[in-house]
Structure 1
Amino acid sequence: MTTFQFLRRLIMLRPLLYVGNALAWTVIYLIPIAPGLITQQFFDSLTGSDSLKIGTWGIIALLLAAALARVAMIYVGCITDVQYRFRMSMILRRNLLGHVLKQPGARAIPVSPGEAISYFRDDVDQTEEAVSWSVDVFGLTCFAIVSSYILLKIDVQMTLLVFLPLVLVVTVAQLATTRLQKYRAASRESTARVTGAISEMFGNVQAIQVAGAEDRVIERFRRFNEDRRKTMLKDKLLGETLDTVFTNSVNLGIGLILLLAGAKMRGGSFTVGDFSLFVYYLTFVTQVISNVGKFMTYFKQMTVALARMTELLQGAAAGVLTRRGKLVLAKGSRPAAEASDPAVAREPLRALEVTGLSYRFPDTGRGIENVGLRLEGGSFTVVTGAIGSGKTTLVRTLLGLLPKDEGTITWNGKPVEEPGTFFTPAQSAYSAQIPRLYSDTLRNNILLGHRDNDGELARAVHDSVMEYDVAHLQQGLETVVGPRGVKLSGGQMQRAAAARMLVREAELYVFDDVSSALDVETEQKLWERIFASRGNAACLVVSHRRAALAHADHIIVMKDGRIESEGTVDELLAASETFRELWYGDERGKDGRVQQD
């Protein structure tokens, strides 16, 4: 999509509002035509050559009326401009965010969260400015056409000698906007690096402290800031230089008028009123040139913004940015999804079948190949295998958190076309290998906006074996856990993530190594409680721990991205060397990290 096509599609998002805004500002820019003519008549009246013959007070009344009319129209124009700009920028951000949220979790954004914020904030703002200035250019162009016609009728030579040099000066200055576009792109990139570095530092405080890397991290951040300072200084300096050229072109024009008007006035072909009209219109005509220059600058900067936002789409068509749709603005006007969205209607699980499921990571080529499995309602299936065998990749591809390359997934015999959209509550709930907690209360981290109906929170806390921990926290469930849950132990974080999943009733619960940081006794309680309380819901568990394997109805052993073998514990102990290594390795205490809560 070209920048011009992007601009046109943005205009068509709210065409009536855009046209209304353009008409309002066109009237605002055309109104000064009248005061210029009135001023001309006023000065001509001093020499008795005016044509209105309404006297000084009549002229003053007309000037006041024109001024009041322009003030009123500016008020209207501000309203239409704010309304249009706000809606356009919100639609852009909504479409960007909507696309990101629909992507597989591992590929949601190609940059750091801090850089993504820069895309949502700065690039959308830059686009908003360009579209808004297109309205000003249209209005000022209309003014330039009308005023040029009036001035040419008065004196063609004077008009050409005054305005052609100005056009040349501004055009030469405009050529510099190509360099400005380059500086603006560098400024955006350096700002994104700084924002991303801040996000990374805040998210990895403990890792930085443990490594003793505070000085190196700060020095890296200082270099990013220095690069940002230099690029922003170049951007600002060139922008201000161009603004200065555009602004001072008015003074250049007035000087030319003074040089040329004297001889014409002595010859009687140029009146004092004509002189005042030229000076009055000069400000607005040069403003036209200046604002057209600014619009061209914004337009080129929008090219940079479009490229950056398209990068965030990761290969999707740029048309995603300008997709039409209802923009909900009123607070409380959107009903809760749990109550109204038919997509979350719960369908009891009878059988989930996966055939030929494959996914390869683009960078490494590793992944899973031709995986097939079947889960029945109420079953307890464990996926196990050595590190790097593809266990986590399997469940993430199944749930749509990674985009499958091949394979089919059916729920009760019906194809699942969009796993990432389908496998959400109330169909399924998922607890990731690495818990993600927010700097909020434990209650809010578990609920995440879910309503606590009929004691669901209390049951989830009990089933995740957290009741003892909650009782001994200083403020219980109201305890703020800190960024990424730093105030909790590893085992508490895993069980809080499990409680978050269990509070949402679902037909399929997916646990990805949720007990790796638990002691043996706590892990045993966790699986016993989940096994007793899950009803007819199926469980898909990634684990190599004995406590989970002992509860399994069916075990899948992964190796090198494929299913090596499957069956019960006894069957696999008899037939699978990989499973025997895992089973007896766990018995000897070689099952990886075991962290006491």
Structure 2
Amino acid sequence: MNQNKKIDIKQLLWRMIRYNFRLYLIDAFFWLFIAGLPIIPGLIIREFLNTLTNQSQFSLSPWTFVILLVATGIGRVIFIFIGRVTKTQHRFTMSALIRHNLLRIILNRPAALALKRENQSQNNLALGELISYFRDDVELIEDNVVSTSELFDAGVFATIAFIILASINWQMTILIFLPVVGIVVFIQQMEHRIKRYRRASRMATENVTGLIGEIFNSVQAIKVAGAETSVINHFQKLNDQRRRTMLKDQLFTAILNSSFQNLVNFGTGIVLLLSANLLKNNIGLTVGDFALFVYYLAYITDFITFFGEFMALTKQTEVSFERMTDLIEDNTNLSNTLVASRPLYLNNIWGERQNLPRIEPIQQTYSDLQTLTVQNLTYLHQGSNQGIKNITFEIQRGTLNVITGDIGAGKTTLLQVLLGLLPLQTGKIYWNGCLINDPAIFFTPPRSAYVPQIPQLFSQTLRDNLLLGRQAPREDIEKALYNSVFAEDIGAMPLGLETLVGYKGVRLSGGQLQRAAITRALIHQPELLVFDDISSALDVQTEEQLWRRLCNTQKQQHTILVVSHREWLINRADQIIVINQQ
């Protein structure tokens, strides 16, 4: 963790409040009544008791005050019910905004660039560890944002109560609010420890969720290696570490909260002793005034305790923002990334759809591929000299271009940099002589389609995996299935394209996975087809049949760029690009 990093927590919270300020005001309005209504019952109780002792300024019967007290209680219950509705809507909106922006930032990253943890270049973040960010850290930020309105409303009540009580006895009133000063000083002294314990607990949770994801991804490897016992032992060790760090964090938080409460109770005890002495000696304090002090004390002490908890929560929220800053590698402008205003298309508190502008896909014009020129393409992996250096070549329309060379020379890296899956460090890419400024946005269907060595499928039907939410004519799907030599496999499946492939396509063989990915690429009818050693899991007959069909359609429809070591495929290539280790 970069300890010198400064997070402007006030700016971030204010930016989130402004995102849907109308909802925030509605929520604050109802909770203002919830927090403020106890002022009225306190005054009613005072006058009720003063009436019984003939010290009241009003000539009303005691039953009148009883009716007023019941009416205010019913009103507060109604406002609490409505406030819960607005609070739920506000909470969900705040958490949805953070999750939406965090996911958007991750998806906008170069796809082949690993996520880093805690600013450590050699410490990649496992996918399972992201759960801690999207669940725990987001919920903490949500609590902090929502608590601002509750703190404001409770503060309004405390201010009004302070004025009323001070008009009765200002010395006792100051004693009631004196613990606020002690809480502020205490939190400032404990800031470092609060953040340290919270950071450690979050890291321990990351390790556990990350290992769970790794276990599910590697079940077969674990069973084949007979490593079930060692994996379970390691899992138990991480859970023990998490238990200890969480215990420290929760225990320290509980100690803080109890310290706030005890500090408040100590002040309350002094106030009660002082008021009892004044009441006994009949010095400027009526029975009703004493009852008013006692009644308000409960709410005021709750406010003071809540104030201390809010300050501790804010320090813990800084840790969550710092962790997300490390994750997205942005130390400067979180307001324009993590808490940026985005349409969420949520229903409002009355069940109506929010009238937000619809985001239309960007339509970009482009010409059919004639030439693709790569000049001095360079990318070196972080912390090493491995990668590609000064790669230059040109591809013509309708040609078969084969990239080959030594293992580890950077063939896959070249494809990923070309397509924008890794950030371009130096070099230029031209499409028909026009410079491509952002390959990640440019090289998408129907300009290009990419099939990696290990295809990724979702746990859905084959049709969903092939189309990925798009629409395609039946003829195009059947043609793509034929050219990828996958039609016979589909025909042998009882449910055909409606077959569920299971987690990451576990119900398909390696060859079927690769041909499913090829079909998905062909359905888009791209100008440029990019393959990364796609036939590694195919038998010789299927592989030859696949390339024969692809090459038959290549001259009219596609330009192919493929990584391969197959000698017979290299022999029929129009261009061979050889990459050797530096």
**In the superposition, relative to structure 1, how do residues 334 and 433 fare at CA in structure 2: closer, same or farther (>3 Å)?**
farther
Residue 90 of structure 1 corresponds to 96
Q: Is the 8 A contact 1:400 1:419 kept in 2?
A: yes
Q: Is the 8 A contact 2:525 2:557 kept in 1?
A: no
Per-residue CA deviations over 1:298-357 (Å, capped at 9, x if unaligned) read 1011111001111111246423112223222369999999xx623466642222222221
Per-residue CA deviations over 1:68-88 (Å, capped at 9, x if unaligned) read 333333344333333332222
- C-alpha separation in 1, matches of 2:295 and 2:264: 10
**Aligned counterparts, 1:4-83, within 5 A:** 4-83=10-89
Residue 437 of structure 1 corresponds to 457
Q: Is the 8 A contact 1:439 1:484 kept in 2?
A: yes
Matched, 1:554 2:575: yes
* Match for residue 318 of structure 1 among 334, 338, 345: 334
- C-alpha separation in 2, matches of 1:197 and 1:379: 45
- C-alpha separation in 1, matches of 2:95 and 2:473: 37
Q: Is the 8 A contact 2:52 2:62 kept in 1?
A: no
Tell me which moved more, 53-62 or 185-194.
Answer: 53-62
- C-alpha separation in 1, matches of 2:401 and 2:13: 53
* Match for residue 341 of structure 1 among 361, 366, 369: 361
**In the superposition, relative to structure 1, how do residues 335 and 77 fare at CA in structure 2: closer, same or farther (>3 Å)?**
closer
Shift of 1:187: 1.3
Tell me which moved more, 278-287 or 552-561.
Answer: 552-561
* Match for residue 468 of structure 2 among 438, 444, 448: 448
Residue 180 of structure 1 corresponds to 194
- C-alpha separation in 2, matches of 1:487 and 1:209: 18
- C-alpha separation in 2, matches of 1:94 and 1:166: 37
Residue 116 of structure 1 corresponds to 130
Per-residue CA deviations over 1:212-234 (Å, capped at 9, x if unaligned) read 22111111111011111111222
Shift of 1:389: 1.8
* Match for residue 142 of structure 1 among 122, 131, 156: 156
Shift of 1:470: 2.8
Counterpart of 1:554, as a letter, is Q
Shift of 1:237: 2.3
Counterpart of 2:273, as a letter, is L
Residue 350 of structure 2 corresponds to none
Per-residue CA deviations over 1:89-133 (Å, capped at 9, x if unaligned) read 212111111111111111253311111121111111111111111
SS in 1 for 2:51: helix
Residue 220 of structure 2 corresponds to 206
Residue 594 of structure 1 corresponds to none
* Match for residue 207 of structure 2 among 181, 184, 193: 193
**Aligned counterparts, 1:240-255, within 5 A:** 240-247=254-261, 252=266, 255=269
Shift of 1:44: 0.6
- C-alpha separation in 1, matches of 2:328 and 2:177: 45
Counterpart of 2:52, as a letter, is L
**In the superposition, relative to structure 1, how do residues 336 and 543 fare at CA in structure 2: closer, same or farther (>3 Å)?**
farther
Q: Is the 8 A contact 2:264 2:304 kept in 1?
A: no
Shift of 1:360: 0.8
Shift of 1:430: 0.6
- C-alpha separation in 1, matches of 2:267 and 2:401: 83
Residue 282 of structure 1 corresponds to 297
* Match for residue 380 of structure 2 among 333, 336, 360: 360
SS in 1 for 2:430: strand
Shift of 1:205: 1.1
Per-residue CA deviations over 1:179-208 (Å, capped at 9, x if unaligned) read 333222211111111100000000011111
Q: Is the 8 A contact 1:524 1:547 kept in 2?
A: no
Per-residue CA deviations over 1:123-152 (Å, capped at 9, x if unaligned) read 111111111111111112222221112111
SS in 2 for 1:93: helix
Counterpart of 1:482, as a letter, is G
Matched, 1:232 2:249: no
Residue 293 of structure 1 corresponds to 308
- C-alpha separation in 1, matches of 2:454 and 2:128: 20
Give identity over the alignment, percent: 43
Q: Is the 8 A contact 2:459 2:503 kept in 1?
A: yes
**In the superposition, relative to structure 1, how do residues 19 and 274 fare at CA in structure 2: closer, same or farther (>3 Å)?**
same
- C-alpha separation in 2, matches of 1:514 and 1:197: 30
* Match for residue 303 of structure 1 among 301, 318, 322: 318
Residue 329 of structure 1 corresponds to 346
Q: Is the 8 A contact 1:127 1:302 kept in 2?
A: yes
Unpaired runs of 5+ residues, structure 2, are 1-6, 117-124, 348-352
Q: Is the 8 A contact 1:349 1:537 kept in 2?
A: no
SS in 2 for 1:12: helix
Q: Is the 8 A contact 1:184 1:301 kept in 2?
A: yes
Tell me which moved more, 115-124 or 440-449.
Answer: 440-449
Shift of 1:393: 0.9
* Match for residue 541 of structure 1 among 562, 565, 575: 562
Q: Is the 8 A contact 1:250 1:283 kept in 2?
A: no
SS in 2 for 1:321: coil
**In the superposition, relative to structure 1, how do residues 108 and 70 fare at CA in structure 2: closer, same or farther (>3 Å)?**
farther
Residue 587 of structure 1 corresponds to none
- C-alpha separation in 2, matches of 1:214 and 1:82: 43
* Match for residue 464 of structure 1 among 461, 479, 484: 484
Residue 391 of structure 2 corresponds to 371
Residue 101 of structure 1 corresponds to 107
**In the superposition, relative to structure 1, how do residues 169 and 538 fare at CA in structure 2: closer, same or farther (>3 Å)?**
closer
**Aligned counterparts, 1:512-551, within 5 A:** 512-534=532-554, 535-551=556-572
- C-alpha separation in 1, matches of 2:466 and 2:328: 31
SS in 1 for 2:389: strand
Tell me which moved more, 513-522 or 41-50.
Answer: 513-522
Shift of 1:482: 3.2
**In the superposition, relative to structure 1, how do residues 91 and 97 fare at CA in structure 2: closer, same or farther (>3 Å)?**
same
Shift of 1:556: 1.1
SS in 1 for 2:338: helix
Shift of 1:403: 0.3
Shift of 1:252: 4.4
Shift of 1:447: 2.8
Residue 127 of structure 1 corresponds to 141
- C-alpha separation in 2, matches of 1:112 and 1:101: 15
Counterpart of 2:32, as a letter, is T
Counterpart of 2:413, as a letter, is T
- C-alpha separation in 2, matches of 1:298 and 1:60: 40
Counterpart of 2:573, as a letter, is A
- C-alpha separation in 2, matches of 1:347 and 1:329: 39
> Cα RMSD (Å) of the superposition?
2.6
Shift of 1:296: 0.8
- C-alpha separation in 2, matches of 1:480 and 1:471: 14
Q: Is the 8 A contact 1:253 1:282 kept in 2?
A: no
Per-residue CA deviations over 1:134-177 (Å, capped at 9, x if unaligned) read 11111122222211121111112322344435764786488556
- C-alpha separation in 2, matches of 1:395 and 1:136: 53
Tell me which moved more, 550-559 or 215-224.
Answer: 550-559
Counterpart of 2:88, as a letter, is V
* Match for residue 156 of structure 1 among 163, 167, 170: 170
Counterpart of 1:527, as a letter, is W
**In the superposition, relative to structure 1, how do residues 321 and 512 fare at CA in structure 2: closer, same or farther (>3 Å)?**
same
Aligned residue pair count:
559
**In the superposition, relative to structure 1, how do residues 278 and 493 fare at CA in structure 2: closer, same or farther (>3 Å)?**
same
